[in-house]
Amino acid sequence: MPAMTMTEKILARASGREQVRPGDLVLAKIDFAMGHDLTIPPSGKIMREQMGAEKVWDPKRVAVVQDHFQPAKDAASATLGRLTREFARDMGIKWYFEVGQGGICHTVLPEKGLVLPGELVVGADSHSCTYGALNNFATGIGSTDLACVLALGELWFRVPETLKFVYHNRLSEWVESKDLILHVIGRIGVDGARSKAMEHTGEALTHIDMEGRLTMTNMAIEAGAKNGIMGYDEVTAEYLQGRAQRPYEPVASDPDAGYEKVFEIDAEQVPITLARPMSPDNTAPLEEVAGTRLDQVFIGSCTNSRITDLRRAATVLEGRHVAPWVRLIITPSSHEVATMAEREGLIGTFLRAGAAWTTETCGACLGGHQGVLGEGEVCLSTTNRNFPGRMGDPKALVYLSNPVVAAASAVAGEIVHPKEVLKERVPA
């Protein structure tokens, strides 16, 4: 049998074929699907009113999450929440996550063990590619496609070409997986992997935990990719131990699998990297943007507000205070993360530092609520996008960074290296 990549093997299995090749069109059976409060209302309407379907194909294989404009920011958002809630209840959806019980979909699904190795996963949200860190093919789809999946449990796919990224050595001190993926996007551009698979591999990944890996596959879409994917290893197995809701079968790329292009990256040489306004590929090493004055710092989103992110931010904020005239907003990515943060005393650290702590939601990341930017304001954010208007006013300026840089910059009032803040003595 001809050699195949991980992505190709998953699509071949899901479509009942022995092999597939880039460019093939396949009708594939879905293993798991997700929708949220912005995408379930239109999908449900199309499914029932235009397709005539009265129930979903498998209520145990669907997750519905209240996360974008919830808790409702206005009456229209409340209506979307109600429609989403009613759909999940009427369809008997097993994996329904209410406000205060779930969080951001791209954190909730992995932490609940709902997206597993070897599977074909779709979500009506562009960052559904996040789940590929768990060795599956995961991609975002539109509400119309989700309606088809909800009714039929299958969908057409074009098999993508695969770009392979090989990371050598290991990341240096202060450099995180966010810096690594920003470095990659800066190198290939926001359309550099357009409609392709981004396969991440190499020695450096063995030193990156699952939450860091999820950050990397989360931002595949920022390079235009169809999906991001990683191999199955001890890190994957340990993360899924006690979480996985179903048996699973990992996949691995064949040694002689074909790739459109291979990128070799020395992780040890990657610096702390930020994205400047107004695109994720407008990257620069920290030194080039240090000193930029800030109005807001946001630590949140499906990219960088998991528990490991919050722990690292807390180490910087402990005993320190946010700079005058700067607001720091911290939004955990799930109820489970918020619960751990409370138990570990992180929330107290954040509050004493003068940060605003919000409920788990997408919130400010998409310019929704709880941190929207005004005209001319400058924000340093741990999110994944900084296009014009993404977090509010089109004339606001958004920089992207890892959580430690964000926390340190909130204390300094300007973009700064964390060591510059940590070297300052904290009063006893």
Whether 11 and 20 have beta carbons less than 8 Å apart is answered as yes
427 part of a folded domain:
no
pLDDT (average), residues 19-40: 98
Considering the entire predicted model, what is its pTM?
0.96
**Dmax over Cα atoms in the chain, in whole Å?**
68
Task: Check pLDDT > 60 for residue 143.
Answer: yes
pLDDT on residue 28: 98
Residue 17 — pLDDT band, cuts 50, 70, 90? very high
What percentage of the chain exceeds 70 in pLDDT?
Answer: 99
Q: How many residues does the chain have?
A: 428
> Domain for residue 428, yes or no?
no
- Residue 156 to residues 13, 130, 163, 203: CA-CA distances in angstroms? 14, 20, 22, 35
- Decide if 379 is inside a domain: yes
Q: What percent of the chain has pLDDT over 90?
A: 98
The reply to whether 322 and 296 lie within a common domain is yes
Q: Examine the pLDDT at 427 and tell me if it is beyond 80.
A: no
Does 316 fall in a domain?
yes
Which among 195, 201, 299, 190 has a CA at the least distance from the CA of 253? 201
pLDDT in the model for residue 416: 98
Query: Is residue 363 within 8 Å of residue 369, measured between CB atoms?
Result: yes
CA 232, CA 133: separation in Å to the nearest integer?
A: 9
Residues 6+ apart with CB under 8 A from 181: 215, 216, 219, 222
In the listed set 265, 297, 321, which residue is the last one of a domain according to the structure? 265
pLDDT of residue 378: 98
For residue 335, the model assigns a pLDDT of: 97
Residue 115 belongs to a domain: yes
Residue with tokens 């030193």: 207
Distances 246 to 57, 158, 262, 354, 388 between C-alpha atoms, Å: 18, 27, 33, 43, 41
Asked if residue 10 belongs to a domain, the reply is yes
pLDDT in tens, 105-141: 999 999 999 999 999 999 999 999 999 999 999 999 9
> Which has the closest alpha carbon to 216: 185, 178, 189, 271?
178
Enter the tokens of residue 19. 């092999």
Which residue in this structure is represented by tokens 């990371």?
167
DSSP state of 427: P
Q: Is there a single domain that holds both residue 176 and residue 286? A: no
Residue 123, SS3 per DSSP: strand
pLDDT band per the 50, 70, 90 thresholds, residue 2 = confident
Residue 311 sits in which domain range? 273-422
| pLDDT for residue 101 | 96
pLDDT band, very low/low/confident/very high, at 208 (cuts 50, 70, 90): very high
Sole residue written with tokens 């803040």: 421
Region 365-369: mean pLDDT is: 92
294 and 369, same domain (yes or no): yes
Into how many domains does the chain fold?
2
Tell me the mean pLDDT in the region 29-41: 97
Note the pLDDT tens digit of each residue in 247-296. 999 999 999 999 999 999 999 999 999 999 999 999 999 999 999 999 99
pLDDT bin (cut points 50, 70, 90) of residue 428 is low
Q: Domain of 314: which CATH number?
A: 3.30.499.10
- 201 SS3 class: strand
Show Cβ contacts of residue 161 under 8 Å, excluding neighbours closer than 6 positions.
22, 23, 196, 197, 259, 260
Q: Does 309 lie in the same domain as 171?
A: no
pLDDT of residue 424: 74
Q: At 345, is the pLDDT very low, low, confident or very high (cuts 50, 70, 90)?
A: very high
Pairing of strands 283-285, 227-230: unpaired
133/77 Cα distance (integer angstroms): 31
pLDDT of the residue at 414: 98
